[in-house]
Chains A and B, each alone.
Chain A
Amino acid sequence: MEFTLGQILWMTVAVFLTLCIFSFLYKDNPFYTFAEHLIVGISAGYWIAILYHTSLTDLWIEPLVDSFSALKDIEGATAGKIGMIIVNILPGAIGILMLSRFFKKAAWISRWPIAYYLGVSAGVAFPLFLQSFVIRQVAANMIDPSAMVGTMRSDLTVLYHYGNSTLLFWQGLGEIIIVFGSICGLAYFYFSAEHKGILGGAARIGIWILMIGFGATFGYTVMARVSLLIGRFNFMIDWVSALSEYFRA
């Protein structure tokens, strides 16, 4: 692949900024602080541009302009057209109320649009949250114990007679771990009663299961972080390759 001088210079800027951030590993320094402040500003400007082009014009400005233009048409009832104008103005007007946060005496008005968003999101999420995160999950815990025990027993029989296993026993045991492990985990998070007796025993098993789960999450997190570092190293190696290609050409 051929690289132009412009591409090489831009890649060099990117590598310089990458090294500015990495310099923080040695100690905090002006290069890191410069890159950090630069990215805050650039990100904010980027957000403004993206929201302007993808959302503000599409969803508010254009429908509003179209609804005003519709007034000129002969067809259609005027009341309906005025209704559409109001429907298109209102969300912007409510959104502008948010800007009252900048004025101390009027800041309380900004609670109204926030309340609207909270109400809509919560109302939409509530029935579906119950279905997806509670009911479906509880349903998945409803295993058929007789079928499972039968499968585990037949796997052990195969192991006893033939010396090999289809691992169905471990699968069955795993299903038991899921059912009882999740119940015991829930017992651990139940703080309305003292963790004594059966509840205490279940909570203790629950915390063991939770610790195994957290360990698995940590193991995966390590992989995630290392992957990000590898991505940066690959980028810097690509820069070196691009430089050598450019100077060879």
Chain B
Amino acid sequence: MTSGGIWFRLANLDRRWVYLVIGIVTFLPIIFYIGVPVSITPEVQAVYRKIDSLSPGTVIMVPMEFGPSTMAELEPMARAVLRHCFSRDLKIISTALQIEGVILMEKVLRESAAEYGGKYGEDYVFLGYKPYPDIVILNMGENFRKPFPRDYYGNNLDDLPMMNGVANYSNTACIVNINSTSGVDYWINYANGRYGADLALGVTAVIATDYYAFLQSNQIFGLMGGLKGAAEYERLIGRRKDIANRSMTSVSVAHLFIILFIVVGNFAYFINRGKGRA
């Protein structure tokens, strides 16, 4: 194999240079922020419209199942949805069926409620965590009290004013599940499939493409995917300077560079192959 030539060197570039470039191009737009327009997609708009159409005092379920590993994508989304719900005076029931994120979910819910003066037990209830989400989701369809005799803080559910007359999914207007796990399938299977609950999903971008088929079949009424979905929802509730919107510039630049890497990598490969160097 002969050495030399820019394309040969590019084809055999140490991957640490690639790491350095991607680190820099992702970091710099955060420091030197330029606002970019964010277009709204119909699937995110559908979630917004549904929540916006609910009258004050309606009970809605916002179960959140993500942990520190995906909080960069889903925490902005969760906060945007919760802010929307609290601003509309909706009553929120939440669970955290992913063990890594229980404490994080509690913090997100408590802080979002505090922004709108939400009172625990009257405006929102946090049921907490139980293992085996498939069994828990199924059980909640019969009665929330079955898997959760007490809430996260140890209160009996019947002692909470908000839970009066609220037994299961049929007493909630809809479910907006914010999830980073394969547990999404259990919500579709059990909450929507068995109990007919109206379901919308907020998922990480990695799994978002898998759920377009369920959107098309009307098993879910809305779908928010990744940080872009979070940015769209922030726009819809009028919070254009929140974290997801501010991150869109960085995401855009990073994408451009990754496409550039694909193009340059392919060019280097084919040119070297042509010269018999591959």
Contacts and interface: CB of A to CB of B under 8 A. Distances in A.
Tell me if chains A and B make direct contact, with any CB pair below 8 A. Answer: yes
Contact of A137 (B152, B213, B225, B251): B213
A85 B132 CA distance: 24
Q: Contact residue range for chain A?
A: 35 or more
6 contacts: A125-B134, A140-B213, A220-B206, A227-B247, A228-B73, A230-B250
Contacts of A192: none
Interface in B213-271: 213, 216-219, 225-228, 243, 247, 250-251, 254-255, 258
For the residues of B in contact with A, the DSSP-based class is: helix
Contacts of B208: 220
B204 interface: yes
B197 interface: no
A231 B71 contact: yes
A189 interface: no
B150 interface: yes
Interface stretch (B4-12, B158-166, B187-195): B187-195
A46 B98 CA distance: 13
A124 B226 contact: no
B243 A54 contact: no
Interface string A208-230: 00000100110011111011111
Contact of B209 (A43, A131, A178, A216): A216
Interface of B: 16, 19, 22-23, 26-27, 30-31, 69-73, 99-100, 102, 128-132, 134-135, 138, 147-150, 152, 185, 188-190, 192-194, 204-206, 208-210, 213, 216-219, 225-228, 243, 247, 250-251, 254-255, 258
Nearest to B127: A54
A154 to B, nearest CB: 22
Interface of A: 25-26, 43, 46-47, 50-51, 54-55, 58-59, 62, 120-121, 124-125, 128-129, 131-133, 136-137, 139-140, 178, 213, 216-217, 220-224, 226-234, 237
The listed residue with most B CB atoms (<10 A of its CB), out of A47, A59, A140, A231, is A231
A229 B255 CA distance: 13
A128 to B, nearest CB: 5
Contact of B206 (A26, A129, A221, A233): A221
Contacts of B31: 237
Contacts of A50: 99, 102, 129
B205 A220 contact: yes
A54 B130 contact: yes
A27 B134 CA distance: 40
Nearest to B190: A128
A227 B193 contact: no
Contact of A234 (B30, B134, B185): B30
Contacts of B219: 132, 136
B209 A128 contact: no
A227 B206 CA distance: 11
